[in-house]
Amino acid sequence: MKPNKITPIHTLRLYWAAVKKYPSALVKVYGLLPIAQIAESILSPLLIAGILTKLAQGNIAELSFDKVAPTILAIIGLEFFSLMLGNYAIRIFWRFEEDVMRDLSMNSFKHLSNMSYRFFSDRFSGSLVSQVNKFTGAFERFTDVMTWNVYRLIVMIIATCVVLAPKAPIVVVAILLLTSIYVPTVWFFRKRLTPLNKKWSEAETKKTGLLADTISNILAIKAFSNESKEIALYKKKSDLVYGHSVTTMKMTMNQELITGSIQVALYISVIGFSIWLATTGRIAVGVIYLCLDYIRTILNRLWDLNGTFRAITRVFGDAHDMTEILMITPEVADAPKAKKLHAKKGVLTFNDVTFSYPEAKEPLFQNFNMAIQQGQSVGLVGHSGSGKTSITKLILRFMDIQSGSIEIDGQNITHVAQEDVRNAISYVPQEPLLFHRSIAENISYGKENATQKEIEAAAKKAHAHEFIIELPEGYQTLVGERGVKLSGGQKQRIAIARTFLKDAPIIVLDEATSALDSESEVLIQDALMKLMKGKTAIVIAHRLSTIQRMDSVIVLAEGKINEQGTHDELLKKAGTYADLWKHQSGGFIKE
């Protein structure tokens, strides 16, 4: 579940949840920075103004070195005090920002890790990477401008009013009046830029997603000679980003022309008031200096508001997509106070299961029942769309059923932790799941803290050891992104070695031998039969030579069990399975 409309408030709430974990840093930074600023920008000019007033009055006696020296030393002391205190505050602020960004990045990673299989199937991985980076980077930009521009501006305006109110109240009124006009004007124009920045950010995310998709599928692009097509697609995405950038720039320049004019008017007004007050004897020369110095500092801060509001609108545009994702409740979630799964036997049962894909008109499974006993190996057979792979995803709880129950050793898998369910299952999909890490790391992913001896033993069982030791760096060889450096058969044997090492009570093989040549398949078939001995196993394969060795074969058709029995029993029935066996070509089921 997510809100109908994501607003900046949602982003700010997420940022605040991370920020409030560091109250000590907040107090130090936002307590020390005003002290350093007042020392440098308020007190130093105030002391200088006193000297200028005496000079204008011709009070030479008060300007002797011994009289002025303490004031000069005080000014120097204030400058060094401001420098040291500001430096200390910045160190804390920098550490604070890094801590929060680390937490935001981790929170985003954890949330994505808890999202369902379907969530990722609908999105580009490259876009998700971009969205996480933008979300955390946006926090840094937001905190920087709010601290160094907005917060310091507020401190400066308050301190200026306090100092000038008794000396030149009409100047204070002018500053407050014109500032109250300037700030809303800038915000009004910047607010109009928010949707433009959102579109700009979305276009950049799509561009990044296309780039990642293209790079990860470069082999297919080259095989079909579609480089020109992909370049044209990327140019289209780049042109869209460029268009949004130019549109935003034009509106920004128009806005800065207007706000710049207001700022010039503010400066001229203060100068005029100051000169008039001085010539009429209402204020001293030193006060004129204070007015001009303070207003110059305030004007610099006000001018920075152009960049500040520009950054803020871009921040919320960049953070929008990830904020939206973080507001989504994971589709598959652990039940409150989820129980511990005790899976030793590996008995699997489907009880009146009804399941439907969100985009489907009809349920794939309706009141579906299936039982797999301890130590039983079951082959799932059927044409594409019959529900074979969906069963494996439901067992692993990559998706949740709408009604009924799936149980492991009598325990409903929705009542226990997802982690426990998946720890009880060794899963080898059709497409091997390898990380861009070493072979040893990929194999040991099945067992934390596995020794090198255990890794090699698993590789030998999967008949992977022979080719691994022939590689230049052996088990330390990096396999490339998604195992691109290895052949299909080698990748699958690495995945199977990982399964040996995990040694879970339930084994799920989804076309696990599909990428192997005939010679390798014979070796792996033997290894898998040893692996499945004494364990509950579900095997999906188009090669019926694999299926015929199972204890039982289940033939699925349109989400229902069409036939069930041993290979020999089903052949004698002369039904669907026998028909598949008769019409298979080269050991594969014809679709």
The total of structural domains in the chain comes to 2
339 lies in a domain?
no
103 lies in a domain?
yes
Average pLDDT, the chain: 83
| pLDDT recorded at residue 58 | 60
Q: Is the pLDDT at 516 greater than 80, yes or no?
A: no
61 lies in a domain?
yes
| pLDDT recorded at residue 229 | 81
185 lies in a domain?
yes
Q: Residue 232 — pLDDT band, cuts 50, 70, 90?
A: confident
Q: Which helix (H) or strand (E) holds 95?
A: helix 65-113
pLDDT > 90: percent of the chain: 23
Q: Is the pLDDT at 152 greater than 80, yes or no?
A: yes
Which domain does 505 fall in, by range? 348-583
Q: Give CA separation, 267 vs 38, 178, 179, 274, 299, in Å.
A: 21, 10, 11, 11, 8
183 shares a domain with 265: yes
170 lies in a domain?
yes
Alpha helices in 462-517 (DSSP H): 465-468, 488-502
Amino acid at 122: D
Q: Is the pLDDT at 515 greater than 60, yes or no?
A: no
Q: Is the pLDDT at 488 greater than 80, yes or no?
A: no
SS3 of residue 244 by DSSP = helix
| Strand 536-540 relative to strand 506-510, pairing | parallel
| pLDDT recorded at residue 586 | 44
Which CATH number do you get for residue 129?
1.20.1560.10
Alpha helices in 5-64 (DSSP H): 8-19, 23-38, 44-56
234-250 per-position pLDDT tens digit: 888 888 888 888 887 77
125 shares a domain with 65: yes
282 shares a domain with 356: no
First vs last C-alpha separation in the chain: 38
Q: Which residues pair with 174 in a beta bridge?
A: none
120-135 per-position pLDDT tens digit: 877 777 778 888 998 9
For the ranges 101-105, 321-325, 545-549, the lowest mean pLDDT is seen at 545-549
Sheet with 365-372: list strands edge to edge: 365-372, 348-355, 403-408, 411-412
577 shares a domain with 450: yes
Q: Which helix (H) or strand (E) holds 288?
A: helix 285-326
589 lies in a domain?
no
150 shares a domain with 202: yes
| pLDDT recorded at residue 139 | 94
Sheet with 425-428: list strands edge to edge: 425-428, 506-510, 536-540, 377-381, 552-557, 560-565
Q: Is the pLDDT at 437 greater than 70, yes or no?
A: yes
| pLDDT recorded at residue 541 | 76
497 shares a domain with 548: yes
SS3 of residue 408 by DSSP = strand
For the ranges 18-22, 125-129, 340-344, 572-576, the lowest mean pLDDT is seen at 125-129
**Rounded to an integer, what distance in angstroms lies between the CA atom of residue 528 and that of residue 500?**
9
345-396 per-position pLDDT tens digit: 889 999 999 999 887 788 899 999 999 999 899 999 888 888 888 899 999 9
Domain boundary among 295, 326, 357: 326
A 10 A CB-CB count for 481 gives 12
73 lies in a domain?
yes
Domain boundary among 326, 360, 394: 326
314 shares a domain with 396: no
308 shares a domain with 356: no
Q: Give CA separation, 264 vs 256, 301, 336, in Å.
A: 12, 13, 61
Domain boundary among 326, 361, 395: 326
445 shares a domain with 316: no
**Rounded to an integer, what distance in angstroms lies between the CA atom of residue 213 and that of residue 444?**
28
451-486 per-position pLDDT tens digit: 999 999 989 888 889 889 988 889 998 887 767 778
183 shares a domain with 44: yes
Which CATH number do you get for residue 570?
3.40.50.300
**Rounded to an integer, what distance in angstroms lies between the CA atom of residue 432 and that of residue 513?**
10
313 shares a domain with 169: yes
588 lies in a domain?
no
For the ranges 43-57, 266-280, 570-584, the lowest mean pLDDT is seen at 266-280
Q: Residue 589 — pLDDT band, cuts 50, 70, 90?
A: very low
Q: Which helix (H) or strand (E) holds 506?
A: strand 506-510
530 shares a domain with 450: yes
